[in-house]
Every structure is written in C-alpha cells, then in structure tokens.
Amino acid sequence: MTRLCTAITALLLSAGLTPAYAADAYPAKPITIIYPYAPGSASDTMTRLLAEAMSKRLGQPVIVDGKPGAGGSIATEHVVRAAPDGYTLLLSASGTIAVNPHIYKLRYNPVEDLAQISIAVEVPFVFVVGKNFPAQDYAAFKALSATKPGGLTSANAGLGTQAHLTQAAFAKLAGVNLSILGYKGAAPAVNDILGGHVDSMMDNAASQIPYVTSGKTTALFVTSDYRFDGYPKVPTAKELGITGLVPTGWFGLAAPKDTPPAVIEKIQTVLVASLKETEMQRKLKELGWVIVGNTSQQALERARTDYALLGQVARDIDLKPN
C-alpha cells in the first residue's frame, strides 16, 4: 500500500497535479517579486505595499527585486525561465504581457508561458488638453481636428507603449485627426502639454490627477467603462460613443507556467485578502489605483483579450517588432 501511494503521488506530481499538502508547506522560504521597471514610480510603491501585506499573511519575507530594461521584457523572461516553485513571481502588467510581444522580438510568449495569478489593480488612460487650448470638450476637439490637414498634435510617453496604442486606436475608432508624437517618458510630454507646446496627450489617469484637479489640464474622457474616482465628472469614452478601446492598463502577479495550481491558488487568495485590507485600499486609492483582485482564470482571459486587441492596433499602425 505504501508503494502504491508513493507511485500515485509521483504520478500526480509528474502531471502537475500537486497534492494539497504541497501548498500547506508553501512558503518555506522567502518569495521574490521581480519588478520590471525602474524604481520610484507609483507601480513600484504599489508592489512594495502588496509585498509587505502578503509577507505578514504568508509568514515569510516577500522581497521586491527590480530588473528594468526593454520595456519590462528582461524581468518577464527571467520569471519565465525561473523554477516553477512559487518562489519567483513577476509583477505582471498589461504592457509587458499584452503590448511587448507586438514591439519586441521575444524568446517567449508572455501570455502562455506564465501562470497569471491575479490582476491586483488597474488604471484607465485619460485624454487631456492644455488649459488654454481652444477646444475644451471632446466634440469641439473632434470638430477642430477636422480643420487641421496635418492633425492636432498629441503626445504620449513613448512609441510602442500602451498609451500610444490606445491613442492610435482612439484616432481610428473616433475618426479624429491626430499627429501622434512619442516622447521619451511621460515627464517631458506632460511638460509640453502644460507649456502649450503640444495640443493633447494620452496619459495614465492617475498621473494626471494633480493637473486635472488644479485646472492645468482638461480631461476630455477616460478610457475605462466606469468614471474615474480621481475626477468623476469626466465622461468615459463609451459615453461619448467611442467603443472598442482597451479600457485600462493593469498590474498583477504571475508565476512560471508550471507552478503547481495549489500554490497559485494560495498566492491568489493571499493577494486578494491583502487587497481587501482597509488601510491597503486607502493607500492604493490615494495613488489613483482601481482595485481588482480577480481570479487566475479571469486574469488569463484578460491577458488574452488585451493581447489580441492591442496586437490588432499594432498591425493597423504598422508597428514592427524590434
């Protein structure tokens, strides 16, 4: 009987059907979340908040290790190649999972070579103009664009970013004439919109909160299906008749694809519980994040949907992988 049980256990392990006791023993050592961008951003702060809360629940240190470069592709590949044991996780993002495959020649498929654990937070994009721009609502902006043969100038944080693809999709779907300008980061683009050197910008909605609320920029719409708490009077794209946009950017956790399902489930449960903490919700909302905390299957479905939609936009604008 002992030999039979051992044989059955070995068979289950080889098939990826890890017994429940494997999850009960997890984690037995520190966990590392690989962060794919440079330090200091709102997503870095969010990741460290989650790591601290999860560490308390798991009884082991959860370390955030930054590996920036190539739009997050270096960090993502590191996790794809890591041991599938639940001790190396990725701060996954719509940019690294759904955008990068269309702009980089990757040696992996980020949608299929990772196990999505959960989308933790999301944030819409917002289309803004400067306070002195002559068109201060969407209808006026669209009408003015039709009178400009070269299009109204519109900035983004960089060509090939999700903001750029969302901007290009908006121009096509709404029939708005834009001359799109890719900057090297959001900061110089914001400086130009504030200085009146560019007509409009597609930006992260959380980043624009101080400018919109102080009247330095005017938000014409947000891309989400819901109104954004940061400035709830601003309409959604759908309210203005613009449909088909990828509604938000998002961040979550992912693991190497062969990580045992029971371990994935345990991490997902702890992550969602951490997101429900009152103090966590307060801090994340202050940063402009919209809390999600969905299931692993829902996260995978979202990754696949956004990958397909953003891939179509990349093909429409003839964006070539490099």
Q: What is the pLDDT of residue 262?
A: 97
What distance, in Å, lies between the first and last C-alpha atoms of the chain?
57
Please list, residue by residue across 32-47, b when 16 or more beta carbons sit within 10 angstroms of its beta carbon and e when fewer do. bbbbbbeeeebbbebb
Query: In this predicted structure, what is the pLDDT of residue 319?
Result: 81
Q: Report cis status (omega within 30 of 0) of the bond before 27.
A: yes
pLDDT, tens digit only, all 322 positions of the chain = 444 444 444 444 444 444 444 567 999 999 999 999 988 888 999 999 999 999 999 999 999 999 999 889 999 999 999 999 999 999 999 999 999 999 899 999 999 999 999 999 999 999 999 999 999 999 999 999 999 999 999 999 998 899 999 999 999 999 999 999 999 889 999 999 999 999 999 999 999 999 999 999 999 999 999 999 999 999 999 999 999 999 999 999 999 999 999 999 999 999 999 999 999 999 999 999 999 999 999 999 999 999 999 999 999 888 877 6
Give the gyration radius of the chain's Cα atoms: 21
pLDDT of residue 180: 96
Which three-class secondary structure state does DSSP give residue 118?
strand
Q: How many angstroms separate the CA atoms of 79 and 299, rounded?
A: 17
pTM of the predicted protein model: 0.87
Q: Give the pLDDT of residue 2.
A: 43
Distance CA 115, CA 256 (A): 6
Task: Report pLDDT for 318.
Answer: 85
Domains of the chain: 2-123+248-316 (3.40.190.150), 124-240 (3.40.190.10)
